[in-house]
Amino acid sequence: RRRIGVLTSGGDAPGMNGAVRAVVRMAIHCDCEAYAIFEGYEGLVNGGNMIRQLHWEDVRGWLSRGGTLIGSARSLAFRERVGRMKAAKNMVLRGIDALVVCGGDGSLTGADVFRAEWPGLLADLIASGELSPEQVEPYKVLNIVGLVGSIDNDMSGTDATIGCYSSLTRICDAVDDVFDTAFSHQRGFVIEVMGRHCGWLALMSAISTGADWMFLPEMPPSDGWEDDMCSVITKNRTERGKRRTIVIVAEGAQDRHLNKVSSSKIKDILTDRLGLDTRVTILGHTQRGGAACAYDRWLSTLQGVEAVRAVLEMSPESPSPVITIRENKIMRTPLMEAVQATKDVTAKIDKKEFDEAMTLRDPEFKE
């Protein structure tokens, strides 16, 4: 029976458990055995009981659970070749020659490197006498399939990553809660949201909650942004009668435009220039925890099923795929193409494009 390993890597995301559950059950359905690798690549390197077979009933109730029940870690050991050799040995000894990895672009790139190195790793294990040619023979080819698990929704080639809609839902709920107290005291709130270098969570939560202003990594604040922001907020409070003011700040906007924007600077502007009693709320890791929303439950299930199909169907020559969703269709995309496109998009963003985006942002205000 073919043995398929599954691991979660990088920051946890709601829906990862649904993905593991789907991989385990689809593997069993396809007459394979499923092995969970605990603590991400760390488990692959360390072996022992960090690699365990999972049966159908072992993953019962996992669909809605937040976090990742098989753990995740940032493995330094796996970044070194010697660590990957240990990982290869652990896999061969257990007869695992297929891996489904659920994580962000860094974790998935690591998987692709591992696959490319696989024949060399096996050769070295034979040369060093750690494995015999007979032991290695049945496992000469390693199949890798990626699933994108991240709350940030920061991978090109897919409309959504596993976890992003759960996180967005939690952010919206939190902002709604802040609305109540902001309304009561006619206050301003600067709310900081996650997303690393990507502004998706900030943009979508700002739209979904009707925030007054937002800061994204992809849009550097234009010269005079302080005046722009204050004018819009003043208009919203006076002409439109808003009792509360919400400004959403992507954490990546602060990192990227550090000299211009920070939550405390925005707070000071609202306080000093508009006389608003303003607080800063950093939502932090509440955005990453909690139950998976319906979208992430079905996305992780359909993608987990597709990942097993892909792992069983791929040929040694085919590039490692990542399972994506585009226009509501579950698809396979060459993993490294998606990773490269993600890098290209980030690099392409320049000041001119940002400024154009800024002028398009609020035409009513610009008049």
Total length of the chain: 367
Binding residues for ATP: 11, 74-75, 104-107
Contact indicator for 216, 361 with CB cutoff of 8 Å: no
- Which residue carries 């939560």 as its tokens? 205
Of residues 90 and 150, the one with the C-beta less far from ligand F6P = 150
Residue 367's contacts (CB-CB under 8 Å, 6 or more residues apart) are none
- Separation between Cα atoms, residue 187 and residue 276, nearest integer Å: 6
Per annotation, catalytic residue among 152, 154, 228, 296: 152
Binding residues: 11, 74-75, 104-107, 150-152, 187, 194-196, 251, 279, 285-288
Residue 131's contacts (CB-CB under 8 Å, 6 or more residues apart) are 89, 92, 93, 122, 125
Contact indicator for 120, 142 with CB cutoff of 8 Å: no
CB of 194 to ligand F6P, least distance (A): 3
Task: State yes or no: residue 195 binds ligand F6P (CB under 6 A).
Answer: yes
Which of 2, 3, 52, 196 lies at the binding interface for ligand F6P (CB under 6 A)? 196
CB atoms within 10 A of CB 323: 28
Task: State yes or no: residue 194 binds ligand F6P (CB under 6 A).
Answer: yes
Which of 5, 11, 67, 199 lies at the binding interface for ligand F6P (CB under 6 A)? 11
Range 228-287, binding ligand F6P (CB under 6 A): 251
Residue 150's contacts (CB-CB under 8 Å, 6 or more residues apart) are 10, 11, 13, 103, 104, 161, 162, 163, 164
Residue of 138, 130, 165, 172 whose CA lies nearest to 150: 165
Of residues 39 and 152, the one with the C-beta less far from ligand F6P = 152
Per-position DSSP letters for 228-241, written without gaps between them: HHHHHHHHHHHTS-
Q: Which helix (H) or strand (E) holds 86?
A: helix 81-94
- Separation between Cα atoms, residue 15 and residue 26, nearest integer Å: 16
Of residues 167 and 303, the one with the C-beta less far from ligand F6P = 167
Q: Considering only 190-198, 268-276, 296-304, 354-362, which stretch makes contact with ligand F6P by CB under 6 A?
A: 190-198
Q: Considering only 59-67, 188-196, 261-269, 342-350, which stretch makes contact with ligand F6P by CB under 6 A?
A: 188-196
CB of 22 to ligand F6P, least distance (A): 22
- Separation between Cα atoms, residue 233 and residue 297, nearest integer Å: 38
Task: State yes or no: residue 199 binds ligand F6P (CB under 6 A).
Answer: no
Total residues in contact with ligand F6P, by rule CB under 6 A: 9
Which of 288, 292, 301, 323 lies at the binding interface for ligand F6P (CB under 6 A)? 288
Q: Is 152 a catalytic residue?
A: yes
Range 133-162, binding ligand F6P (CB under 6 A): 150-152
CB of 134 to ligand F6P, least distance (A): 43
CB of 285 to ligand F6P, least distance (A): 6
CB of 11 to ligand F6P, least distance (A): 3
Nearest residue to ligand F6P, scored by beta-carbon proximity? 194
CB of 251 to ligand F6P, least distance (A): 6
Maximum C-alpha span of the chain: 79
Phi-psi region of 321 (alpha: psi -120 to 50; beta: other; left: phi over 0): beta
List, by residue number, the catalytic residues.
152
What is the binding site for ligand F6P (CB under 6 A)? 11, 150-152, 194-196, 251, 288
